[in-house]
Amino acid sequence: MSRTAALYGAVGVAALLAPLVFPAFQTQLAFLWVMVLFALTWDVMGGQMGYNSFGNVFYLGLGMYVTAVVQRDLYFDVEEYAHVAGAVGTLSAGEYLTGLALGLALAGVAAVLAAAVLGSGILGLRGHYFAICTLGLGIAAGEIAGGIDYIGAGSGLVTPVFPDALGRRGMFFYYLFFALAVATFFTLRWLYAGRFGLAINAIRDDEDKAEAMGIHTTRYKTVAWCVSAFFLGIAGGGVGNLVGFIDPTDVAFAGATFGVWMVLMAILGGKGTLWGPVIGAVIFHVTQELFWTYLFGWQRVALGALIIVIVVFFPQGILGWVRQRWPERFGHRVDEEARAPGGGA
């Protein structure tokens, strides 16, 4: 266990130093943690509980809008912010941080509330029906957001300009997302280790049996979605500010990019495991950046080929493959071994 702690420490130190050692890559590194957050939060439902959600991007977009609206409405006049020509003024560091902190907090709350309400309805569905329903959720949200003038409708919403006094923008968001990813990771680790983890795994393995055993499945499922939504909502608030411009369908409820990537990264790394989504997100983000640079014009083709390779050769994800290849390495703990064959299912 102490060895594990040492390795956690090493990863932590490396992560803390990364933006200082590579200052030119701060934004990409910040997005790396965003990707890790995407994959981790998706895996709560898709991996641990076996409910493939294609609509998690809904909470991302919700968080973006809530945060941006709070930031805007605290200090600006809505009409003026959207229309009046000429400078609308910049925020001081204090104002910016207040707006952002309040916005992120409310984003988390809003996402949890939305997940609780939606979950109690949608989570009665199973399998393909649930997947399709959540797919519709993300698409509908984009179209609805595109019709609400208060949040900029189709013209989108620009987040306040990052004040100079707070130093480097990339660095700020790097540590914000790093902290959030660490908090998410350890919260999930704690949750998976306890009764909650066992319950949602039971739901994945056999929901009817789990229910027969006295587990309040709908309650657990809704809570799981709320946990996922909470962290994703906060992440969304940060992503909106990092991107700087919130377009309803291309940035906020971007099902075809962020929405698909979440699923892909978790599967790539090995869904239903704690480290799988992290590894998947890292590998996905790095390959994507490499393809973008070196296979210019063909990056999507290359990405498609990568996905095929993953699905064909690593159906259990990288971690699942490693476990099958070297099961003795995982053999010390009974629960790990028990989980291994179904790890990627």
Partner 1 sequence: MTSLTTRVGMLAAGLAVGGLLAAGPAMAKVEGDTIVFGAAVSFTGKYSTNGKHTKNGYDLAAKRLNDMGGIEVAGKRYNVKIQYYDDESTPARNAQLAERLINQDGIKFILGPYGSGPTKGMAPIIEKYKIPMVEANGASRSLFNKGYRYLFAVLSTSEQYLAEAINLAAKLSAAEGRRVQDLKVAIAVENDPFSQDIRAGVIDDAKRWGMRVVIDDKLPKELNDMTATLTKVKAVKPDVLVVSGHSKGAALAIRQVHEMKVDVPMLAITHCEAADVIGKFGAAADYTLCATQWDETMSYRDGWFGSAGDYAKTFQAAYGYVPPYQAAESSAAVLVWADALKRAGTFDTEAVRDALAQTDMQTFYGNIKFDETGKNIAKPMVLRQIQNGKLVPVAPVEFAAKKTIFPRPMWSER
Under rule CB under 8 A, residue 191 binds partner 1: no
Closest CB to partner 1 among residues 115, 265: 265
14 binds partner 1 (CB under 8 A): yes
Binding span for partner 1 by CB under 8 A among 95-103, 198-206, 214-222, 250-258:
250-258
Q: Which residues contact 72 (CB under 8 A, 6 or more apart)?
A: 78, 81, 157, 160
Q: Does 23 bind partner 1 (CB under 8 A)?
A: yes
Residue 83 binds to partner 1 (criterion: CB under 8 A): yes
Taking CB under 8 A as the rule, does residue 318 contact partner 1? yes
Contact yes or no for 320/344 (Cβ under 8 A): yes
d(CA 150, CA 146): 10
Under DSSP, the state recorded for 250 is I
Q: For residues 26 and 222, which CB has a smaller minimum distance to partner 1 in the complex? A: 26
- Pairwise CA distance, residues 44 & 127, whole Å: 15
Residue 133 three-state SS? helix
The reply to whether 292 sits near partner 1 by the rule CB under 8 A is yes
332 is a contact residue toward partner 1 (CB under 8 A)? yes
Two structure tokens written together for 53: 């959600």
Among positions 131, 171, 283, 306, the unique one binding partner 1 when judged by CB under 8 A: 283
Close Cβ partners of 136 (under 8 Å, ≥ 6 residues apart)? 55
The smaller minimum CB distance to partner 1, of residues 35 and 118, is found at 35
Residue 91 binds to partner 1 (criterion: CB under 8 A): no
Q: Determine the Cα–Cα distance for residues 207 and 218; give it in Å rounded to an integer.
A: 10
Q: Which two tokens stand for residue 45?
A: 């439902």
Q: Which two tokens stand for residue 19?
A: 């933006």
- 135 binding partner 1? (CB under 8 A): no
The reply on whether position 211 binds partner 1 by CB under 8 A is no
- 24 contacts partner 1 (rule: CB under 8 A): yes
Q: How many other CB atoms sit within 10 Å of the CB of residue 40?
A: 30
Residue 39 touches partner 1, criterion: CB under 8 A: no
Quick check: 296 binds partner 1 (CB under 8 A)? yes
Strands 245-246 and 157-158: antiparallel
| Residue 158 contacts partner 1 per CB under 8 A | yes
Contact between 73 and partner 1 per CB under 8 A:
no
Q: Pick the closer one to partner 1 by CB: 154 or 341.
A: 154
Exposure on the CB side of residue 31, measured as CA atoms within 13 A: 14
Stretch that binds partner 1, among 41-49, 110-118, 121-129, 274-282 (CB under 8 A): 274-282
Considering the rule CB under 8 A, would residue 204 count as an interface residue with partner 1? no
Rounded distance, CA 219 to CA 196, Å?
A: 11
Instruction: Check binding of 175 to partner 1 (CB under 8 A).
Output: no
Among 110, 242, 310, 340, binds partner 1 (CB under 8 A): 242
Q: Rule CB under 8 A: is residue 218 a binding residue for partner 1?
A: no
> Rounded to whole angstroms, how far apart are CA atoms 326 and 322?
6
Maximum Cα–Cα distance across the chain: 67
20: contact with partner 1 by CB under 8 A: no
Nearer to partner 1, 122 or 181 (CB): 181
